[in-house]
Amino acid sequence: MFSRREFAHAIAAAGALIGPLSGRGLAQGLSGMTEEALIGGPAGGNVSLIHVTDMHAQLMPVWFREPSINLGVGAAAGQPPHVTGEDFLRLYGIEPRSPMAYALSSADFAALARDYGRMGGMDRIATVVKRLRAERPDAILLDGGDTWQGSLTALRTNGQDMVDAMNLLGVDAMTSHWEFTLGIDRVTEIVDALPFPFLGANIYDAEWDEPAYEPYKLFERGGVQVAVIGQAFPYLPIANPRWMFPNLSFGVREERMAEVVEEVRAEGASVVVLLSHNGFDVDRKLASRVPGIDVILCGHTHDALPEPLMVGDTALIASGSNGKFLSRVDIDADASGVKALRHRLIPIFADVIAPDPEMAALVAGHRAPFAAELSEVLGETEALLYRRGNFNGTFDDLILQALMTERDAEIALSPGFRWGPSLLPGDRITKEDLYNATAMSYPAAYRSEMTGETLHVILEDVADNLFNPDPYYQQGGDMVRVGGMGYRIDVSAPMGSRITDMTHLASGEPIDPARSYTVAGWASVNEGTDGPPIWDVVEAHIRSVGSVTLQENDSVKVTGA
Amino acid sequence: MKTLTRREALAAGAAAAAFAASGLPAFATADAAQEAVMAFTGGVAPGEGGVTLTTPEIAENGGTVPVEVAAEGAAAILVLAAGNPSPGVATFHFGPLGVAMASTRIRLARTQDVIAVAKMSDGSFRQASNTVKVTIGGCGG
């Protein structure tokens, strides 16, 4: 295990290294940091895993601000990943304002971003993967899903840009979530051509209640059998449109997982890895109830943790999102099982890690047909635009304003998605930036009438998806963003009584349960929703305001945390 | 978010109003469920353990929720949906040579407990209960 002290030491050493500035416009704060220092020492043990997850089709380096509010409830209250800001830095012994503080937390984000530059980029990730495989050619590269959705090019190519990039990267197995929002026909077309298995032990045929995808894959590595079990997002037909994959059923299916673990152990697996899209708190509970899993590579909730969180003998590893990080896990195992495990969360500092030319060429090839669109400037932002946070994010504030203005609505609703990179104050907003926050396959911006009572039911329902004390009832997104209406939420109250003091902001009046309000929103899971795509709505708004300014959003009052 | 058509919004609003009026939203007919259990057991409070009840934590479709029950050595198993307007779902009877296991699909009007009560061959009763959440969904991500 990479201890807290070792981790802090490695980062300090990386910061202290002195070297010449490269010619690639190295971000000032990173001078002296090297690829070698980021990647770490030689591979230990005899089995290596490489984990990427929740890339959301981000082929290019991005700004991505981590959340400042990420509340845990029940047993997870105050536990990682529900620790943010300075508390997070203290917990893991990370120097404030250091490169890793910038990468992993939200404090001083805009200022530190200028010092340390963008993160991620598929060509940089490819460089790291190649370096790791130079040391250990048979390292197992695992993709936790949410890979094929989230950008203009992924939208236009139905995920083909990401499929081609991941194939070149050399993925050995993947699991899934947003992949299914391409529709089952397209998923089947891609999966049939993938050179690696698309795993999902919890994906069932809804009619016959039989497994629909391969549950696991066995790899012989370093003289032992390594089982990789896949677990897709359990609540796909609820959180995303069921009509897009009508014959599939998901769910946590804890008993099924226990059976599969027993099965792979019986087949001789010495190392059992769960490649999971459950979400961190679901994985924490699963690890406490299903014996025999050595490593859970967590996904879905977009958490990045610099060291594993141990639940009994199971190491939970959270590798972030949007291409910001990659985890390497070196394991020493023999026939009797795992002897030692060392994890390193590698931050993909785009100005330190050299682009891999082969991957850079593939990415450029996929972007070329859309070059004019991608670079089209719609306006600029004076505000830091970001999405992560339990209750609101400034990019969502912008989307809500656009919905209310362009769709002439009293109240706007925007889903609590966790994908979508950030923009810094002074940045131009390009069409690429807008699509990074909105690109998906059910974008219709509806306009509807809802009573105050209905709005309350919706808020309570979503709040329970986030704050139910039993993780198996959580869906892993954030609270629905609300424009034009404020409310108070007691996150520790039971469902039905968390949301109070709903207020119509324009009039200052309490929301009347019986009155009908005009509501605009997007990303409805209902088939046949009418309305223009959300990116057209937001583009029109940005063009009309020219420069985006936002007031501080204090319309949600939080208690019980 | 789910888009609510006017009709659906009215329906949801009506359901919410019914919620509020009952004062016990998740278990509006808990008494009826309790009565059904007592009728099945002849007034004996069932013990815990020995019954495996498998349900999804969150229903993908409240209209058809898969439920599986198993209890080794059971002669009969009663399945109830405690929050439905009428809680009775099914009673399965098993012969002495069969495996006491059954699966079915049930409709759940809203978030509620599904209860399984097994009558064991020695005449004792065992119970298991799971909460199944019925949600409007659409906000995960």
B9 and A413 in contact by Cβ < 8 A?
no
Q: Judge whether B3 lies within some domain.
A: no
What is the torsional sign of CA B71, B73, B79, B82? negative
Contacts of B50 (CB under 8 A, 6+ apart): B71, B72, B73, B118, B120, B126
Mean pLDDT taken over chain A: 94
Q: Which residue in B84, B89, B79 sits closest to B117, CA to CA?
A: B79
Domains identified in chain B, total number: 1
Give residue A403's pLDDT band: very low, low, confident or very high (50, 70, 90): very high
A237 and B25 in contact by Cβ < 8 A?
no
Q: Judge whether B33 lies within some domain.
A: yes
Using CB atoms, pick whichever of A209, A238, A523 lies closest to residue B58.
A238
Contacts of A495 (CB under 8 A, 6+ apart): A460, A461, A463, A464, A468, B26, B111
* Beta partners for residue A315, in sequence order: A295, A310
Contacts of A30 (CB under 8 A, 6+ apart): A99, A115, A116, A117, A349, A351, A352
Task: With beta carbons under 8 A apart, name residues in chain B contacting A242.
Answer: 60-61
Whether residue B88 is predicted with pLDDT greater than 80 in this model: the reply is yes
Q: Which residue in A521, A488, A516, A499 sits closest to A413, CA to CA?
A: A521
Is residue A45 within 8 Å of residue A294, measured between CB atoms?
no
Structure-block tokens of residue A299: 């996904």
- What is the pLDDT, as a whole number, of residue A30? 82
* Domain around B69: 25-132
Neighbours of A379 (CB within 10 A): 17
CATH of the domain at B47: 2.60.40.2470
Chain A interface, mutation test: which of B3, B54, B132, most A Cβ atoms within 10 Å?
Answer: B3
Where in chain A are all domains bearing CATH 3.90.780.10? 376-559
Give residue B97's pLDDT band: very low, low, confident or very high (50, 70, 90): confident
Domain A4-366 has CATH 3.60.21.10: yes
Where in chain A are all domains bearing CATH 3.60.21.10? 4-366
Chain B interface, mutation test: which of A301, A451, A459, A479, most B Cβ atoms within 10 Å?
Answer: A451
A458 and B136 in contact by Cβ < 8 A?
yes
User: Residue A561 and residue A22: Cα distance in Å, rounded?
Assistant: 46
Using CB atoms, pick whichever of A234, A251, A416 lies closest to residue B141.
A416
ipTM reported for the complex, 2 dp? 0.85
Q: Which CATH class is domain A376-559?
A: alpha beta
User: Residue A345 and residue A51: Cα distance in Å, rounded?
Assistant: 9
Q: Judge whether B8 lies within some domain.
A: no
pLDDT per residue as tens digits for the range A106-152: 999 999 999 999 999 999 999 999 999 999 999 999 999 999 999 99
Q: Judge whether B9 lies within some domain.
A: no
B140 and A250 in contact by Cβ < 8 A?
no
Task: With beta carbons under 8 A apart, name residues in chain A contacting B57.
Answer: 234, 251-252, 470, 472-473
Q: In percent, how much of chain A has pLDDT > 90? A: 92
Q: Chains A, B: CB contacts under 8 A, how many?
A: 126
Task: With beta carbons under 8 A apart, name residues in chain A contacting B16.
Answer: 453-454, 456-457
Q: Which residue in A271, A227, A50 sits closest to A142, CA to CA?
A: A50
Pure H helices in chain B: 6-22, 30-41
B135 and A464 in contact by Cβ < 8 A?
yes
Contacts of A368 (CB under 8 A, 6+ apart): none
pLDDT per residue as tens digits for the range A219-257: 999 999 999 999 999 999 999 999 999 999 999 999 999
Q: Judge whether B18 lies within some domain.
A: no
Mean pLDDT, range A86-97, rounded to an integer: 95
pLDDT per residue as tens digits for the range A431-463: 999 999 999 999 999 999 999 999 999 999 999
Whether residue B24 is predicted with pLDDT greater than 50 in this model: the reply is no
B54 and A524 in contact by Cβ < 8 A?
no
Q: Which residue in A345, A273, A326 sits closest to A80, CA to CA?
A: A345
* A494-500 CB contacts, 8 Å cutoff, 24+ apart: A495/A460, A495/A461, A495/A463, A495/A464, A495/A468, A495/B26, A495/B111, A496/A460, A496/B19, A496/B25, A496/B26, A498/A460, A498/A463, A498/A464, A498/A467, A498/A560, A499/A456, A499/A459, A499/A460, A499/A463
Mean pLDDT, range B32-49, rounded to an integer: 93
